[in-house]
Chains A and B, each alone.
Chain A
Amino acid sequence: MNGDFEKLLMKTQKPARYIGGEVGSIVKDKSQTDVRFAFCFPDNYDVGMSHLGMKILYGLTNSRPNYWCERVFAPDKDFEKAMRDNSILLYGLESHDPIKDFDFIGFTLQYELSYTNVLNMLDLAGLPVLAKDRTELMPIVVAGGPCVCNPEPMVDFIDLFILGEGEEVNLELLDLYAKMKPYSPTKEEFLREAAKIEGIYVPSFYDVSYNADGTIKEVVPNMPEAPKRVKKRVIYDLDSVYYPENFVVPFTSIVHDRAVVEVLRGCIRGCRFCQAGFIYRPFREKNVDTISGQTKALCENTGYEEVSLSSLSTSDHSEIDKLLSELVDYTDGENINLSLPSLRIDSFSEELLEKIKSVRKSGLTFAPEAGTQRLRDVINKNITEEEIMSTCKTAFEGGYTGVKLYFMLGLPTETDEDIIGIAQLARRIIDLYYSVDKSKRGKGIQISISTATFVPKPFTPFQYEPQATADEITRKQKLLFENITTSKIKYNYHNKKVSLLEAVLARGDRRVSKAVYLAWKKGCTFDSWDEYFNFSLWQEAFDECGIDTGFYANRRRTFEETLPWDHLDYLVSKKFFEREDLKAHKAETTCNCKEKCSGCGVSKKYGGVYCGANT
């Protein structure tokens, strides 16, 4: 590190984010490596370093002696300015080498609002942001993560997308590259070979044609190597797949600064608005021994004082009691806190509750998502008012006085009654509080209601549904606000323009790519940060390329329409989504996978615990 660079760091907020050298980071001799991979998280260090997927793929790639994976994050605005003013190119934290000289630059697309940061990072790296302008073989720019299930708004910038879980396909891609590199192939030659790997989607190998009404006519491969539909990758056996035994332990505090052990993948619940519930199917779990072994290894190697179990719903692990009981024995003895996000505490046995006497809840939080049982049935969110009330009652008796409730506005079939229902539910929780004996309950009840605007997502039954317009949402927010008549209820709501942008990017097609480019050109970055989000610049970008946001966000799609992501196969069938959407409109619920297989189309062969059961 030279003096000029150090001088810049001295003027930067939290400079430890930009120096690397953390315990657990992996430095190799670059003359001994064949392939260098820059793993980029398109948000700042604090957010990106908390991401489990990066930790897994970082460890996996580096477990191969001849591959070197480094971490790269978006610099915060102050350091970005310092980099630009001093011509410092975006570098890998391990080697401090510019990533433009790497073989691969890989982005993880976790949320739509990080898209402009991808462009900005390519630009900071000194590379053309448009894929067509990067004609050399190196670096190949790739992207994975949940948003890749509809990558069309990003096709102009990314050379290839990796669909599904990366533990196998990433190494296959690097192996192919290592094999071909000595023969100096052209970029196209490499991409053609890569397209043969299952899970690899090369967008330039597909032509999209449109109907007169603006909808997609068809998507056709233009290369013999490109499959008609690209299928996502799935790890069949979570017990044998790679999992890191060590993490990079950051110097500065980050959003989730703790050891994380993944306990299961997929979700059995099938809430109709939830993309994660479908794109990560089938439901697979690790066995208790694997989880405890990984917990111990990680805690010992990192020295973390807290470990968290990660999954979409930890309570759905089939041996949750045994698992927690075993883990608590270990963590308690080592003075380590165990954190269990997304847990239903009512599912615990008496025996286990006895064991984990000292439980600290982060506060009582429920996500009923909708205010009435009818609408909860529409979205297939199987949480009943009785469940909420019984948990609240126990909590109030234990002295709790704060409850947080999360809802969505603008759900399909929503009426004013459903919105008023939100206020009424909060009201009933207050009544419940006053029904608890005065000597038991704490002082002063406070209910906080948060509403987000519903964003229809690809690969969900609601992918056909229109998003409520900004005006409608304003009216709905006002209606709810008017129905809250006590200061014991606080109401927060999300910026509706953010949700509109998410809706356009989530279900956008290739034409939206141009708007992403223009928005970035106009200065949009860090769109997920309230202080930097600037919708008027986005609106200008949409106007300039003739994009009507209503076409993407507020239009109902027919079942017959070709959707921008129809050539991508996430295993769940389109027929299932259609069936679920029809059932939603009749307010009929669907059983979870454990109770009965709902025939979503995921084949038994992918290792799902409940797939094909009880049919």
Chain B
Amino acid sequence: MEVFIVAQTPKNQNLDPDRYVYRLMFTKVGTAKFISHLDLVRVMQRSFKRAKLPVWYTQGFNPRQYLMFPLPLSLGTESETEFMDIALLEFLQPEDICSRLNLVLPEGIKILSAGAPVHEHTDIEKSDYTIRITASVPAEEAVEKLRDFFSADKIQIMKRVKPKKNRREEFKEMDVRQYVQLMDISIDSDETVVSLRLAASAGNGFNLNFAPLLEAFSAKTKIEILSFSAKRTKILCKNGENFS
């Protein structure tokens, strides 16, 4: 028989403790982009433990470290501006929190700043991405076709539907026109890589994944995408301010 001795109500909490909420801004770049959102939650919680931060645990049958992410990031996308909120039982200097965590975090994830939250999670409206593409056609041609693709009335993509147990995965067609906007497009100095700046709506429950978007582009134009990378560069609020 397997027996679990469950940690009881955490000793370092009482029912209504003074707690200090910090909003941490961090990067998720390099191979860290392959860490899924659910896995990232675990990575963070274990890092807090390794850094011995005095984290506040939620009240309930299964006490958990308090941890909130305002906007999850798609698997495979890098980011310069990720956020999470944590709660501590003691006041710590923001620099102290950053340096202690950065010692124990995996490569690619780095805490840039810590501070009191300014905006509400619900203030988030959109986020900006930089996409870099190499295509099977000359860069100029790709730029032209990409402009057409993003200015069309409809942008149909095949969205993967999470398969039910023992079922094959399914795809359904979806128009993402209202969710994505091309802000800027240019050719890098090496003359092969196309850089796009995209604004995608965020915080409305729909999270755009770029792989199906580019597959739709390929299917429509017969231009093969040889490689691409995506990076979130900004998270913007309804009032136009940078989320912080």
Q: Which residues of A contact B (CB under 8 A)?
A: 1, 3-4, 6-7, 9-11, 14-16, 19-23, 249, 251-253, 299-305, 324, 328, 331-345, 356-362, 364-366
Rounded to whole Å, the gap between the CB of B3 and the closest CB of chain A is 5
Q: Which residue of A lies closest to B210 (CB)?
A: A10
Q: How far is the CA of A253 from the CA of B35 in the complex (A)?
A: 11
Rounded to whole Å, the gap between the CB of A54 and the closest CB of chain B is 20
Q: Which residue of B lies closest to A391 (CB)?
A: B1
Q: Which 10 A-B pairs have the closest CB atoms?
A: A303-B46, A303-B49, A3-B227, A303-B50, A338-B5, A362-B2, A15-B34, A360-B4, A341-B2, A19-B31
Please determine whether B227 and A340 come into contact, CB atoms closer than 8 angstroms. Answer: no
Q: How far is the CA of A189 from the CA of B31 in the complex (A)?
A: 42
Partner of A362, one of B4, B32, B43, B104: B4
Q: How far is the CA of A252 from the CA of B45 in the complex (A)?
A: 13
Q: List 25 A-B contacts (CB under 8 A).
A: A6-B227, A16-B35, A21-B108, A23-B104, A249-B46, A252-B39, A300-B50, A303-B48, A303-B104, A304-B49, A305-B49, A337-B4, A340-B2, A340-B3, A340-B4, A358-B6, A358-B8, A360-B6, A361-B1, A361-B4, A362-B2, A362-B3, A362-B4, A365-B1, A365-B2
Q: How far is the CA of A284 from the CA of B167 in the complex (A)?
A: 48
Please determine whether B4 and A336 come into contact, CB atoms closer than 8 angstroms. Answer: no
* Known A21-B108, A300-B52, A339-B4; further 7 A-B contacts with Cβ < 8 A: A11-B211, A16-B36, A23-B104, A338-B4, A345-B1, A359-B4, A365-B1
Cβ contacts under 8 Å, B57 to chain A: 335
Partner of A303, one of B2, B45, B108: B45
Please determine whether A366 and B1 come into contact, CB atoms closer than 8 angstroms. Answer: yes
Q: Mark B45-79, 1 if CB is under 8 A from A, else 0.
A: 11111101000010000010000000000011000
Query: Provided the pairs A9-B34, A335-B63, A343-B2 are in contact, do residues A304 and B46 lie with their beta carbons within 8 angstroms?
Result: yes
Cβ contacts under 8 Å, A343 to chain B: 1-3
B-side interface size class: 35 or more
Query: Provided the pairs A6-B227, A10-B76 are in contact, do residues A302 and B7 lie with their beta carbons within 8 angstroms?
Result: no
Please determine whether B7 and A331 come into contact, CB atoms closer than 8 angstroms. Answer: yes
Cβ contacts under 8 Å, B1 to chain A: 342-345, 361-362, 364-366
Cβ contacts under 8 Å, B2 to chain A: 339-343, 361-362, 365
Cβ contacts under 8 Å, A3 to chain B: 134, 226-227, 229
Query: Provided the pairs A7-B227, A19-B31, A304-B46 are in contact, do residues A359 and B3 lie with their beta carbons within 8 angstroms?
Result: yes
Rounded to whole Å, the gap between the CB of B168 and the closest CB of chain A is 13
Q: How far is the CA of A47 from the CA of B104 in the complex (A)?
A: 25
Q: How far is the CA of A356 from the CA of B42 in the complex (A)?
A: 26
Q: Which residue of A lies closest to B38 (CB)?
A: A253
Q: How far is the CA of A343 from the CA of B4 in the complex (A)?
A: 10
Rounded to whole Å, the gap between the CB of A92 and the closest CB of chain B is 15
Q: How far is the CA of A11 from the CA of B160 in the complex (A)?
A: 12
User: Is B90 an interface position by the 8 A CB rule?
Assistant: no
Please determine whether A332 and B31 come into contact, CB atoms closer than 8 angstroms. Answer: no
Q: How far is the CA of A23 from the CA of B47 in the complex (A)?
A: 9
Q: How far is the CA of A20 from the CA of B32 in the complex (A)?
A: 10
Cβ contacts under 8 Å, A252 to chain B: 36, 39
Q: How far is the CA of A356 from the CA of B7 in the complex (A)?
A: 9
Please determine whether B5 and A359 come into contact, CB atoms closer than 8 angstroms. Answer: yes
Q: How far is the CA of A362 from the CA of B76 in the complex (A)?
A: 36
Please determine whether A302 and B46 come into contact, CB atoms closer than 8 angstroms. Answer: yes
Please determine whether B4 and A251 come into contact, CB atoms closer than 8 angstroms. Answer: no
Cβ contacts under 8 Å, A22 to chain B: 106
Cβ contacts under 8 Å, A364 to chain B: 1
Please determine whether A1 and B31 come into contact, CB atoms closer than 8 angstroms. Answer: yes
Cβ contacts under 8 Å, A302 to chain B: 46, 50
User: Is B10 an interface position by the 8 A CB rule?
Assistant: yes
Q: Which residue of B lies closest to A361 (CB)?
A: B3
Cβ contacts under 8 Å, B226 to chain A: 3
Cβ contacts under 8 Å, A344 to chain B: 1
Rounded to whole Å, the gap between the CB of B69 and the closest CB of chain A is 16
Cβ contacts under 8 Å, A360 to chain B: 3-6
Please determine whether B34 and A303 come into contact, CB atoms closer than 8 angstroms. Answer: no
Q: How far is the CA of A23 from the CA of B49 in the complex (A)?
A: 13
Please determine whether A21 and B31 come into contact, CB atoms closer than 8 angstroms. Answer: yes
User: Is B162 an interface position by the 8 A CB rule?
Assistant: no
Cβ contacts under 8 Å, A333 to chain B: 11
Partner of A10, one of B5, B43, B134, B211: B211
Cβ contacts under 8 Å, B211 to chain A: 10-11
Please determine whether A253 and B42 come into contact, CB atoms closer than 8 angstroms. Answer: yes
Cβ contacts under 8 Å, A338 to chain B: 4-5
Q: How far is the CA of A14 from the CA of B75 in the complex (A)?
A: 9
Cβ contacts under 8 Å, A1 to chain B: 31
Cβ contacts under 8 Å, B188 to chain A: none
Please determine whether B50 and A331 come into contact, CB atoms closer than 8 angstroms. Answer: no
User: Is B107 an interface position by the 8 A CB rule?
Assistant: yes
Cβ contacts under 8 Å, A11 to chain B: 211
Kindly identify, within residues 105 to 124 of chain B, every residue whose CB is under 8 Å from any CB belonging to chain A: 105-108
Of B6, B226, B229, most buried by chain A (CB within 10 Å of CB) is B6
Q: How far is the CA of A343 from the CA of B38 in the complex (A)?
A: 31
Q: How far is the CA of A362 from the CA of B5 in the complex (A)?
A: 10
Please determine whether B50 and A251 come into contact, CB atoms closer than 8 angstroms. Answer: no
Query: Provided the pairs A4-B227, A10-B76, A10-B211 are in contact, do residues A23 and B7 lie with their beta carbons within 8 angstroms?
Result: no
Rounded to whole Å, the gap between the CB of B164 and the closest CB of chain A is 16
Please determine whether A328 and B5 come into contact, CB atoms closer than 8 angstroms. Answer: yes
Q: How far is the CA of A121 from the CA of B132 in the complex (A)?
A: 35
Cβ contacts under 8 Å, B76 to chain A: 9-10, 15
Q: Mark B3-40, 1 if CB is under 8 A from A, else 0.
A: 11111101100000000000000000001101110110
Cβ contacts under 8 Å, B7 to chain A: 331-332, 334-337, 358
Partner of A335, one of B10, B42, B46, B108: B10
Q: How far is the CA of A604 from the CA of B241 in the complex (A)?
A: 75
Rounded to whole Å, the gap between the CB of A368 and the closest CB of chain B is 12
Q: Which residue of B lies closest to A304 (CB)?
A: B46
Rounded to whole Å, the gap between the CB of B5 and the closest CB of chain A is 4
Cβ contacts under 8 Å, A301 to chain B: 50
Rounded to whole Å, the gap between the CB of A248 and the closest CB of chain B is 11
Rounded to whole Å, the gap between the CB of B74 and the closest CB of chain A is 10
Rounded to whole Å, the gap between the CB of A404 and the closest CB of chain B is 9
Q: Which residue of B lies closest to A336 (CB)?
A: B7
Q: Which residue of A lies closest to B4 (CB)?
A: A360
Cβ contacts under 8 Å, B228 to chain A: 7
Cβ contacts under 8 Å, A23 to chain B: 43, 46-47, 50, 104-106
Cβ contacts under 8 Å, A251 to chain B: 34-36, 39, 42-43, 106
Rounded to whole Å, the gap between the CB of A21 and the closest CB of chain B is 5
Rounded to whole Å, the gap between the CB of B92 and the closest CB of chain A is 18
Q: How far is the CA of A7 from the CA of B8 in the complex (A)?
A: 45
Please determine whether B5 and A358 come into contact, CB atoms closer than 8 angstroms. Answer: yes
Of A344, A360, A361, A365, most buried by chain B (CB within 10 Å of CB) is A360
Please determine whether A21 and B47 come into contact, CB atoms closer than 8 angstroms. Answer: no
Rounded to whole Å, the gap between the CB of A347 and the closest CB of chain B is 11
Q: How far is the CA of A476 from the CA of B145 in the complex (A)?
A: 68
Cβ contacts under 8 Å, B49 to chain A: 299, 303-305
Q: How far is the CA of A508 from the CA of B5 in the complex (A)?
A: 42
Please determine whether A16 and B104 come into contact, CB atoms closer than 8 angstroms. Answer: no
Q: How far is the CA of A345 from the CA of B134 in the complex (A)?
A: 62
Please determine whether B31 and A340 come into contact, CB atoms closer than 8 angstroms. Answer: no
Cβ contacts under 8 Å, B3 to chain A: 339-340, 343, 345, 359-362
Cβ contacts under 8 Å, A361 to chain B: 1-4
